[in-house]
Amino acid sequence: MGQVAWKALFLSLFDYKTEKYVIAKNKKVGILYRVVQLSVLAYLVGWVFVVKKGYQDTDTSLQSSVITKLKGVAFTNTSELGERLWDVADYVIPPQGESVFFVMTNLIVTPNQRQATCPESASIPDALCHKDEDCLEGEAVVAGNGVKTGRCLRDRDSTRGTCEILAWCPVEKRSKPKKPLLGSAENFTVYIKNSIRFPKFKFSKMNVLATDNESYLKTCRYSAEHPYCPIFVLGNIVRWAGGDFQEMALGGGVIGIQIEWNCDLDKAPSECNPHYSFSRLDNKSAETSISSGYNFRFAKYYRDAEGVDYRTLIKAYGIRFDVMVNGKAGKFNIIPTVINISSGLALMGAGAFFCDLVLLYLIKKSNFYRGKKYEEVNPIPGSHCLVRHRMGIRAQTSWVGSKHSGGSASWTCASVKPHRCETTPALGGGDQGYCLLPGFPEEKNVL
Amino acid sequence: MGQVAWKALFLSLFDYKTEKYVIAKNKKVGILYRVVQLSVLAYLVGWVFVVKKGYQDTDTSLQSSVITKLKGVAFTNTSELGERLWDVADYVIPPQGESVFFVMTNLIVTPNQRQATCPESASIPDALCHKDEDCLEGEAVVAGNGVKTGRCLRDRDSTRGTCEILAWCPVEKRSKPKKPLLGSAENFTVYIKNSIRFPKFKFSKMNVLATDNESYLKTCRYSAEHPYCPIFVLGNIVRWAGGDFQEMALGGGVIGIQIEWNCDLDKAPSECNPHYSFSRLDNKSAETSISSGYNFRFAKYYRDAEGVDYRTLIKAYGIRFDVMVNGKAGKFNIIPTVINISSGLALMGAGAFFCDLVLLYLIKKSNFYRGKKYEEVNPIPGSHCLVRHRMGIRAQTSWVGSKHSGGSASWTCASVKPHRCETTPALGGGDQGYCLLPGFPEEKNVL
Amino acid sequence: MGQVAWKALFLSLFDYKTEKYVIAKNKKVGILYRVVQLSVLAYLVGWVFVVKKGYQDTDTSLQSSVITKLKGVAFTNTSELGERLWDVADYVIPPQGESVFFVMTNLIVTPNQRQATCPESASIPDALCHKDEDCLEGEAVVAGNGVKTGRCLRDRDSTRGTCEILAWCPVEKRSKPKKPLLGSAENFTVYIKNSIRFPKFKFSKMNVLATDNESYLKTCRYSAEHPYCPIFVLGNIVRWAGGDFQEMALGGGVIGIQIEWNCDLDKAPSECNPHYSFSRLDNKSAETSISSGYNFRFAKYYRDAEGVDYRTLIKAYGIRFDVMVNGKAGKFNIIPTVINISSGLALMGAGAFFCDLVLLYLIKKSNFYRGKKYEEVNPIPGSHCLVRHRMGIRAQTSWVGSKHSGGSASWTCASVKPHRCETTPALGGGDQGYCLLPGFPEEKNVL
Q: How many CB pairs below 8 A link B and C?
A: 265
- Identify the H or E element spanning C7: helix C2-12
pLDDT of residue C378: 63
Query: Which residues of chain B make contact with A344, given a CB cutoff of 8 A?
Result: 338, 342
* Domain-located, residue A398: no
- Give residue-wise pLDDT tens across range A367-378: 778 877 887 776
Among candidate residues A278, A301, A331, the one where a domain is terminated: A331
B297 is in an annotated binding site: yes
Among candidate residues C417, C378, C442, the one with its CA nearest the CA of residue A367 = C417
Q: How far apart are CA B93 and CA B89, in angstroms?
A: 8
For this complex, say whether ipTM is above 0.90: no
Q: How far apart are CA B413 and CA B399, in angstroms?
A: 15
Statement to judge: residues B222 and B369 lie in one domain = no
Query: Which residues of chain B make contact with A260, given a CB cutoff of 8 A?
Result: 199
Q: How many residues does this entry show for chain B?
A: 447
Among candidate residues C368, A138, C249, C209, the one with its CA nearest the CA of residue B377 = C368
Among candidate residues C251, A213, A391, the one with its CA nearest the CA of residue B427 = A391
Statement to judge: residues C209 and C232 lie in one domain = yes
pLDDT of residue C291: 57
Statement to judge: residues B368 and B232 lie in one domain = no
**Binding region of C for ATP:** 69-71, 189, 295-297, 315
Which residue range(s) make up the domain with B354? 21-53+334-373
**β-sheet bridge partners, residue C261:** C274, C327
Q: How far apart are CA A197 and CA C281, in angstroms?
A: 10
Query: Which residues of chain A make contact with B13, given a CB cutoff of 8 A?
Result: 30, 34
- Give residue-wise pLDDT tens across range A403-445: 333 333 333 333 333 333 333 333 333 333 443 333 333 333 2
- B12, B18, B204, best to mutate vs chain A, most A CBs in 10 Å: B18
Strand order across the beta sheet in which C16-19 lies: A374-377, B21-24, C16-19
pLDDT of residue C34: 92
Give the CATH number, domain containing residue A84: 2.60.490.10
Please give the average per-residue pLDDT across A11-39, as a whole number. 86
User: For chain A, what is the domain count?
Assistant: 2
Q: Which is it for strands C203-206 and C189-198: parallel, antiparallel or unpaired?
A: antiparallel
pLDDT at A158 over 60: yes
Statement to judge: residues B299 and B338 lie in one domain = no
Q: How far apart are CA C306 and CA C114, in angstroms?
A: 13
User: What is the number of other CB atoms lying within 10 angstroms of the CB of residue B353?
Assistant: 11
A255 burial via Cβ count (<10 Å: 0-12, 13-18, 19+) = buried
pLDDT of residue C23: 84
* Domain-located, residue A11: no
* Domain-located, residue A237: yes
Chains interfacing with A (3 or more CB pairs < 8 Å) = B, C
Among candidate residues C91, C302, C112, the one with its CA nearest the CA of residue C188 = C91
3-state secondary structure of A309: strand
Q: How many residues does this entry show for chain C?
A: 447
Statement to judge: residues A355 and A268 lie in one domain = no
| Minimal Cβ distance to A15: which of C24, C60, C61 | C24
Query: Which residues of chain C make contact with B371, given a CB cutoff of 8 A?
Result: none
Give the minimum alpha-carbon distance from C158 to chain A in angstroms, rounded to a whole number.
29
Q: How many residues does this entry show for chain A?
A: 447
| Minimal Cβ distance to B31: which of C14, C19, C403 | C14
- Give residue-wise pLDDT tens across range A172-201: 887 777 888 898 999 999 999 898 888 889
Give the minimum alpha-carbon distance from C276 to chain A in angstroms, rounded to a whole number.
12
pLDDT beneath 70, residues of chain B: 1, 210-212, 283-291, 378-447
Q: How far apart are CA C103 and CA C96, in angstroms?
A: 13
pLDDT of residue A290: 55
- Give residue-wise pLDDT tens across range B133-189: 888 888 888 888 889 998 888 887 888 889 999 999 999 887 777 888 898 999 999
Q: Are C430 and C405 in contact (CB under 8 A)?
A: yes
Q: Are A401 and A410 in contact (CB under 8 A)?
A: no
pLDDT beneath 70, residues of chain C: 1, 210-212, 283-291, 378-447
Q: Are C375 and A23 in contact (CB under 8 A)?
A: yes
* Domain-located, residue B277: yes
Q: How far apart are CA B66 and CA B259, in angstroms?
A: 10
Question: Across the interface, do C374 and A22 touch by the CB < 8 Å criterion?
Answer: yes
Close Cβ partners of B286 (under 8 Å, ≥ 6 residues apart): B292, C210, C212
* Domain-located, residue A444: no
Alpha-carbon dihedral of residues C387, C393, C397, C399, nearest 10 degrees? -20
Statement to judge: residues A292 and A327 lie in one domain = yes
* Domain-located, residue B269: yes
A71 is in an annotated binding site: yes
Q: Are A110 and A174 in contact (CB under 8 A)?
A: no
Bond before B336 cis per omega within 30 degrees: no
| Minimal Cβ distance to B20: which of A20, A320, A438 | A20
Query: Which residues of chain C make contact with A372, given a CB cutoff of 8 A?
Result: 375, 377, 415
Q: Considering only alpha carbons, which residue of chain A is nearest residue C430? A: A425
Q: Considering only alpha carbons, which residue of chain B is nearest residue C412? A: B411
Q: Are B302 and A310 in contact (CB under 8 A)?
A: no
Give the CATH number, domain containing residue B351: 1.10.287
Please give the average per-residue pLDDT across A1-8, as a whole number. 77
Q: Which is it for strands B309-332 and B253-264: parallel, antiparallel or unpaired?
A: parallel
* Domain-located, residue A131: no
Q: Which is it for strands B128-129 and B92-93: parallel, antiparallel or unpaired?
A: unpaired
B242 burial via Cβ count (<10 Å: 0-12, 13-18, 19+) = exposed
Among candidate residues C297, C331, C365, the one where a domain is terminated: C331
Statement to judge: residues C240 and C355 lie in one domain = no
B315 is in an annotated binding site: yes
Q: Considering only alpha carbons, which residue of chain C is nearest residue B62? A: C61
Q: What is the pTM of this model?
A: 0.79
Please give the average per-residue pLDDT across A204-233, as a whole number. 83
A444 burial via Cβ count (<10 Å: 0-12, 13-18, 19+) = exposed
- Identify the H or E element spanning A346: helix A334-357
Q: What is the DSSP secondary-structure string of A151-175?
A: EEEE-TT-S-EEEEEEEEESPPP--
pLDDT of residue B11: 81
Statement to judge: residues A240 and A357 lie in one domain = no
| Minimal Cβ distance to B65: which of A31, A322, A422 | A322
Give the minimum alpha-carbon distance from A291 to chain B in angstroms, rounded to a whole number.
7
pLDDT of residue C446: 28
pLDDT of residue A234: 95
Q: How far apart are CA A223 and CA B151, in angstroms?
A: 64
pLDDT of residue C1: 52
Q: Considering only alpha carbons, which residue of chain A is nearest residue C255? A: A65
Q: What share of chain A is helix, strand, coil (3-state, %, to 5)?
A: 30, 35, 35
**What is the band of A168 on the pLDDT scale with cuts at 50, 70, 90?**
very high
Statement to judge: residues B369 and B246 lie in one domain = no
* Domain-located, residue A2: no
Statement to judge: residues B326 and B205 lie in one domain = yes
Which residue type sits at A258?
Answer: Q
Query: Which residues of chain B make contact with A378, given a CB cutoff of 8 A?
Result: 25
Q: How far apart are CA C436 and CA C422, in angstroms?
A: 8
Distance of CA C189 to the CA centre of its chain: 33
3-state secondary structure of B279: strand
For chain C, how big is the Rg over CA atoms in Å?
Answer: 45
Statement to judge: residues C321 and C364 lie in one domain = no
Chains interfacing with B (3 or more CB pairs < 8 Å) = A, C
- C322, C345, C383, best to mutate vs chain A, most A CBs in 10 Å: C322
Statement to judge: residues B74 and B193 lie in one domain = yes
- A18, A76, A193, best to mutate vs chain C, most C CBs in 10 Å: A18
Bond before C95 cis per omega within 30 degrees: no
